[in-house]
A and B are shown apart, each in its own frame.
Chain A
Amino acid sequence: SQELEQSPQSLIVQEGKNLTINCTSSKTLYGLYWYKQKYGEGLIFLMMLQKGGEEKSHEKITAKLDEKKQQSSLHITASQPSHAGIYLCGADSGNSGYALNFGKGTSLLVTP
């Protein structure tokens, strides 16, 4: 079965700093989803990447998909306290779009 490894497991950054979270798959990636989860809440959809080399941005968050490396990265520019939470990557290895496998998440804390 596909495994997704996220790094780092946790991150503490000062407000205004940039940061990157990585998600590496043990198998070919056909689609990669990024979600944010606030403590004790549901998952909030951020972005979905489908093609190798694809890059998407929303506000200060950019996600890229490197098909060859079977990896995706999530980059936050000029972090704010509102970015704090757990970032989860989810992927479907079989191009079916239903049984997503998720990484364990990266916990982000942004300090003033």
Chain B
Amino acid sequence: GAGVSQTPSNKVTEKGKYVELRCDPISGHTALYWYRQSLGQGPEFLIYFQGTGAADDSGLPNDRFFAVRPEGSVSTLKIQRTERGDSAVYLCASSLSPGIGNTIYFGEGSWLTVV
């Protein structure tokens, strides 16, 4: 597609449930990033993929969060045993390659509400 595509755009789930958020990056972009944005805050880095591998997952808050990118394109962020504090906008971004000088393009985000 023309831009970074994220689904679902909105998700309401009950506390304790499992959630998957999907990201389809811009075609040809090898670098893919997940960020989380809470109300009134800037985006917070979660994880970065270069190709199929997670090059840096230091931003994942705990082991309930996991992300995969099995074929080096689409990525899925998985959240187990959701908690109310997980409610936020989850943003996916991609760039042609990593490194300064490469524009990082963001998707519209997936709004997650845990009730």
Contacts and interface: CB of A to CB of B under 8 A. Distances in A.
Contacts of B107: 42
Contact of A31 (B33, B43, B58, B100): B100
Interface in A89-107: 90, 92, 95-105
Interface string B89-105: 00101010011111111
Interface of chain B, helix or strand or loop or mixed?
Answer: loop
Interface residues of B, number: 31
Interface of A: 4, 30-31, 33, 35, 40-45, 48, 50, 88, 90, 92, 95-105
27 contacts: A41-B109, A42-B106, A42-B108, A44-B106, A45-B104, A45-B105, A50-B100, A50-B101, A90-B43, A95-B100, A97-B99, A97-B101, A97-B104, A98-B33, A98-B55, A98-B56, A99-B56, A100-B43, A100-B45, A100-B104, A101-B42, A102-B43, A102-B44, A103-B42, A104-B41, A105-B41, A105-B42
